[in-house]
Structures are given as structure tokens and as C-alpha cells.
């Protein structure tokens, strides 16, 4: 199956022509990120991100396991991304070896795991013997472009939202306290990386792009599915709120002006800041909602929980 999405010549010409005249089909400006909708599920660490028509679900799960032998002081953190035909006919069941799918999971992996967004040393319980294994399950539900950006937001929001059960260590024994019994503990998040994807279009011919002086490439942020299919180059910049670049990924495609990179980073920073604030705000609201009852309870039994 795994059908390539076909786009008619007239439609592709129309989209490209519109871009040349500074218009996008969904009426966004070139630098405009789609509005993000963050929904939390009933359980902790269950987040549904909607970015336009793109929907990504992320769920965090945790278990206690043995750490890697060569890293006895670190817990495990795994991000699993799997796509199914649910997201669109271009995805195949049980086959996540497609070029795009591998690229998506690699970028998310680099942006979140390798940038140390999660404090994995904090997951250690007994050095060399027991540690937490945190697993982020990313489910692609509906595809309308921007999977990388949406997934990264989903993973970070879910990690921030998740709380692992409290444990007590008695020498060699570990007691895992059910959530109803003891307030669960949030994960140690060191920074919040946000991916912003830029798509490049070349309004002129290839020669002009490589040798020309004009640098007239069209750069748009957060392409939708149709724009993604037509784009000639792609750049993903991952930044955090501390103005640090976590990752820059440009895998071939249209050659771009080096200075554009700086410009892109500046644009991406504004988006990063906005998105980070939105995530934190959403979590704050959700936590308040969840704490509603415990606030009533604690007034009866004013006990300090640390």
C-alpha cells in the first residue's frame, strides 16, 4: 500500500505561484506558526497536540528496570515514534523504515533525548541496580505536515506533565507508592527544546539558486502537507528559551544562503518563546485543575509534603 500522495500539476502550480505572490493557501503569513491546541488526558503524561489538522498524541509510561552496565548512574529514556495508516495512506503498518519516518524520529531523538532535556541521572534509584525507565510513546494520529514540530511539543509537554510514582528505598528493597497514596514526583526537565521547521522553495531555476546573486528563495515556517510535498529544501532548528541552539538539521535539498540561517534562528526563537510559554501555561492550568481536590483535603490535614 503506502501510496504516495499525488498532487495535480495545476494544484502544485497554483500553490507555487501563490507563494511567489506572498500568499499561502491557509491564509497564513510566511513566518506564521499554526496555532497549537494542547489537551491533557485523564492520566498524567497524556497529551494530545493539535496543530491545524495535524494531530499527535504522546503518552509517557515508566517502569523500574536495571540500568545499562556502562551507565550505572543513569536511568533509561526511550522515545518511540510509530506511524500507522491512521495518519494517512502514505504510512504503512509495521514499517517504520521509510526515509521520512526515520528522519522524523531521528530529529525528535536528537532534539529531546540527546540534548539532555530530561535529567536521566535523576532517574537512578540504586546505582548499578535499579533505575526508572521512562518511555515516551508518540502516536501520529493525523498528518497535515509539521510532524517534527508537533511531536517535539507533544513529547516535551507530556514530560512536563508526567509525574512518576513516589518510591521509598529500604536498603535493597524498593516500595512503589501508588498515586492515591503519595503525591507523585515530576520528572527533572532541564530545558524545553522546541523544533521549528522551515521549508524552502525556489522561484527561479537551479542555476540561479547556486550561482546567482539574488538569494530569492522563499522561506516559509511550518509547512502543511501540500507545501511539504512541494518544497525543495527543509531546515529544522531546535532552540530553547535560553536562546541556545540545540540542533540544526538540514539534510540536503535546496542550497540556502548562509546568512538566512541566522535569520531563521531569530525567527525560530520568537516562536520557541511563545510555544514554551503556552506549554507551561497549559500545564499550570491543568495542575490547578487536578489540585482542586487536594487543596480541599490539605486544608483539613495541613501536612507539609516535600
Site residues, other proteins (CB under 8 A): 1, 41-43, 46, 48, 53, 55, 57, 59-61, 64, 70-73, 80, 82, 84-89, 93-94, 126-130, 135, 137, 139, 141-144, 168, 171-178, 180-182
Which secondary-structure segment (H or E) carries 9?
Answer: helix 9-20
The three grid cell numbers given for residue 168, joined into one nine-digit string: 521509598
Nearer to other proteins, 71 or 250 (CB): 71
CA distance 72 to 65: 12
Least spacing, CB of residue 181 vs other proteins, in Å? 5
Least spacing, CB of residue 177 vs other proteins, in Å? 7
Nearer to other proteins, 87 or 152 (CB): 87
Least spacing, CB of residue 185 vs other proteins, in Å? 16
Least spacing, CB of residue 129 vs other proteins, in Å? 6
Nearer to other proteins, 176 or 190 (CB): 176
Least spacing, CB of residue 234 vs other proteins, in Å? 21
Residue 111 CB burial class (10 angstroms; 0-12, 13-18, ≥19): buried
Nearer to other proteins, 73 or 204 (CB): 73
- List all residues 6 or more positions away from 204 whose beta carbon is below 8 Å from its beta carbon: 212, 214, 216
Question: For strand 36-40 and strand 46-51, is the pairing parallel, antiparallel, or unpaired?
Answer: antiparallel
Nearer to other proteins, 184 or 253 (CB): 184
271, 221 Cβ separation under 8 angstroms: yes
CA distances from 185 to 13, 21, 44, 121, 180 (A): 53, 52, 11, 15, 13
Amino acid at each position: 500500500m503506502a501510496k504516495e500522495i499525488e498532487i495535480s500539476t495545476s494544484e502544485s502550480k497554483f500553490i507555487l505561484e501563490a507563494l511567489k505572490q506572498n500568499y499561502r493557501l491557509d491564509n497564513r503569513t510566511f513566518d506564521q506558526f499554526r496555532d497549537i491546541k494542547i489537551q491533557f488526558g485523564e492520566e498524567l503524561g497524556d497529551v494530545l497536540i493539535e496543530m491545524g489538522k495535524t494531530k499527535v498524541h504522546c503518552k509517557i509510561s515508566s517502569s523500574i528496570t536495571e540500568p545499562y552496565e556502562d551507565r550505572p548512574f543513569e536511568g533509561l529514556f526511550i522515545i518511540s515514534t510509530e506511524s500507522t495508516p491512521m495518519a494517512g495512506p502514505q504510512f504503512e503498518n509495521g514499517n517504520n523504515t521509510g526515509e521520512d519516518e526515520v528522519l522524523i524520529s531521528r530529529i525528535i531523538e536528537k532534539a529531546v533525548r540527546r540534548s539532555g532535556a530530561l535529567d536521566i541521572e535523576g532517574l537512578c534509584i540504586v546505582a548499578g541496580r535499579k533505575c526508572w525507565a521512562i518511555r515516551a510513546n508518540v502516536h501520529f494520529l493525523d498528518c497535515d505536515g509539521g510532524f517534527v514540530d508537533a511531536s517535539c511539543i507533544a513529547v516535551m509537554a507530556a514530560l512536563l506533565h508526567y509525574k512518576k510514582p513516589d518510591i521509598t528505598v529500604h536498603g535493597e528493597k524498593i516500595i512503589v507508592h501508588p498515586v492515591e497514596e503519595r503525591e507523585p514526583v515530576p520528572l527533572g526537565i532541564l530545558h524545553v527544546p522546541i523544533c521549528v521547521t522551515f521549508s524552502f522553495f525556489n522561484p527561479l531555476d537551479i542555476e540561479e539558486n547556486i550561482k546567482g546573486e539574488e538569494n530569492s528563495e522563499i522561506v516559509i515556517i511550518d509547512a502543511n502537507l501540500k507545501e511539504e510535498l512541494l518544497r525543495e529544501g527543509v531546515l529544522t532548528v531546535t532552540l530553547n528559551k535560553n536562546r541556545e541552539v540545540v540542533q540544526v538539521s538540514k539534510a540536503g535539498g535546496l542550497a540556502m544562503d548562509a546568512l538566512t540561517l541566522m535569520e531563521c534562528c531569530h525567527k525560530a526563537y520568537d516562536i520557541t518563546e511563545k510555544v514554551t510559554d503556552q506549554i507551561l501555561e497549559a500545564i499550570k492550568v491543568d495542575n490547578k485543575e487536578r489540585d482542586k481536590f487536594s487543596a480541599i483535603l490539605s486544608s483539613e490535614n495541613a501536612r507539609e509534603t516535600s
